Amino acid sequence: MATETNRIEYKQELTEALEKEVVAFLNYHEGGVIYIGIDKMGKTIGVKDADGDMLKIKDRLKTNISPSCMGLFDVISETKNGKDIIKIIIASGTEKPYYLRRQGMSERGCFIRIGTAAEPMPQKMIDELFAKRTRNSISKIKSNQQNLKFEQLKIYYNETGVKLNNRFAANLELLTEKGDYNYTAYLMADKNSTSIKVAKYKGTTRVNLIESNEYGNCSIIKATKQVLDKIDLENKTITKITSKERGNKRLWDAIALREAVINAFVHNDYTSEVPPKFEFFTDRIEITSAGSLPDGLSQDEFFEGYSVPRNKEIMRIYKDLNLVEHLGSGVPRILESYSKDCFKFSTNFLRMTFPSVAPVTDLVTDKAAEETAATDVKSSKNIGGTIGGTIGGTIDDLTDRQKQVIKLIIKDNKLSVRELAGKLKINNSAAQAHLDSLKTKGFIERIGGTRGYWKVLIQSI
């Protein structure tokens, strides 16, 4: 039976002590996880109103803890032994010490995780942490432009079903303490001077540049989506022919590649004014972001998924827009397909290098196979029969839930992640995961980006 550890806390029900436990994990160098609905012995009790409790938790953590911990926690629902439980993932914060707002920065308000308990923090430790508090973060740097517009950001939030009100700049922490737009706001604004480069070379060196694309000078959300679309276009499905077999495969694992791109944008050190860079070679893709590991995070902790967000305000927005599933999920997903050797850490940069499945000279794009596999389904009547027949006979590796997703898309090909989650009665992250899996396996395709529609593909296996 599972027991509590230095990084895991069980609570049978939601109590008044929740903020204390969260503060302790925020101040702990590894962060941690709190489960609601599991008793101290590890027995699953469950919660009666998971959705209601999740809303209460988010509001309490937003209101009762200082400095702001928005972007440093995730609240998700899970099912264990047939019962609903709540999982709160807390990252180690970069603005320690965190404290209970009503108690102030004192021994009564500051806590730290010691063993399996949240212990009061000695005043000496409080003073030392406050002296080291990171002040040169993009949230504290005043934007050199104050006449900023955020129409793109508002559109992306609208697409998730959230309308930004007049206080959105304060709520999303886009303001300095004096009320000016900060550097985070500058990056999120419709116009800025942040240029993102995607380069393509002939060969394995940077000698022969054959294509140079420049994205950016706009909201980095838009730039992120543009880079994702470009990389997805370059990540071709190929046919590798050997003496024994002929197999279709994409050049790089799509899920790992997407996580790497998002990781580069979210964790880039923008205080250096050096944006992330993406480069294609004959045998690999390289993704480089400014800034090495955050202070206090070891390489082992990095690979295990411990999260110390360098830019918590950016992380929060990317999570709101369903670009990030949950804290600490990116690197473990990448490691499912690639080894730790693909990561290279230096004093000022982090580079991820993913080899292609084979050199380009050994690959042949199978156009006929692609045309057969990507037949556009024209009418819901014909599709209804196909799902039960042709597709049903060839997608046995898909779950019943994923087949349900395909049927819902057939009925409404402009279905949003939030709408899908509502119809399936699951959270947005789980809905996005189903869509990502179906895209990777080639059963659906996104046409036209965020304002486009879903296309169902018939694929012979």
Query: In this structure, are 277 and 421 located in the same domain?
Result: no
Q: Return mean pLDDT, the chain.
A: 84
Query: In this structure, are 344 and 312 located in the same domain?
Result: yes
CB of 25 closer than 8 Å to CB of 113: yes
Q: Is residue 153 part of a domain?
A: no
For residues 170-188, give the mean pLDDT: 94
Q: Is residue 281 part of a domain?
A: yes
For residues 376-404, give the mean pLDDT: 49
pLDDT, tens digit, 9 for 90 and up, residues 94-116 = 889 999 999 999 999 999 999 99
Q: Is residue 50 part of a domain?
A: yes
CATH number of the domain that residue 435 is part of: 1.10.10.10
Distance in angstroms (rounded) separating the CA atoms of residues 113 and 167: 34
Q: Is residue 123 part of a domain?
A: yes
Query: In this structure, are 276 and 307 located in the same domain?
Result: yes
Distance in angstroms (rounded) separating the CA atoms of residues 89 and 357: 35
Which of 80, 104, 132 terminates a domain? The answer is: 132
For residues 163-189, give the mean pLDDT: 94
Query: In this structure, are 384 and 326 located in the same domain?
Result: no
Query: In this structure, are 110 and 206 located in the same domain?
Result: no
Q: Is residue 169 part of a domain?
A: no
Instruction: Give 266's pLDDT tier (boundaries 50, 70, 90).
Output: very high
pLDDT at 421: 82
Which of 362, 382, 398 terminates a domain? The answer is: 362
**Is 409 or 391 the better-scoring residue by pLDDT?**
409
Q: Which residues contact 213 (CB under 8 A, 6 or more apart)?
A: 197, 198, 199, 230
Strand extents, DSSP E, 242-333: 246-250, 277-280, 284-290
**Placement of tokens 């819902």 in the chain:** 408
Distance in angstroms (rounded) separating the CA atoms of residues 339 and 104: 44
Query: In this structure, are 306 and 413 located in the same domain?
Result: no
Query: In this structure, are 258 and 317 located in the same domain?
Result: yes
CATH number of the domain that residue 267 is part of: 3.30.565.60
Distance in angstroms (rounded) separating the CA atoms of residues 344 and 245: 35
Which of 113, 132, 151 terminates a domain? The answer is: 132
Assigned token pair, 166: 């007049």
Query: In this structure, are 27 and 104 located in the same domain?
Result: yes
Helices vs. strands in the chain: H and E counts, helices first: 17, 19
Query: In this structure, are 409 and 357 located in the same domain?
Result: no
Number of domains in the chain: 3
Distance in angstroms (rounded) separating the CA atoms of residues 218 and 212: 18
For residues 258-264, give the mean pLDDT: 94
pLDDT at 436: 80
Q: Is residue 257 part of a domain?
A: yes
Least confident of 87-96, 156-165, 372-381, 434-443: 372-381
| CA dist list (Å): 273 to 195, 215, 319, 457 | 10, 15, 23, 42
Range of the domain at 270: 195-362
**Is 201 or 447 the better-scoring residue by pLDDT?**
201
- Indicate whether this model's pTM tops 0.75: no
pLDDT at 240: 56
- Closest-CA residue to 314 (of 194, 207, 178, 450): 194
pLDDT at 373: 36
Q: Where does residue 159 rank: exposed (0-12), middle (13-18), buried (19+ CB within 10 A)?
A: middle
Query: In this structure, are 397 and 449 located in the same domain?
Result: yes
To 10 degrees, the CA torsion angle through 172, 174, 177, 181? Answer: -160
CATH number of the domain that residue 107 is part of: 3.30.950.30
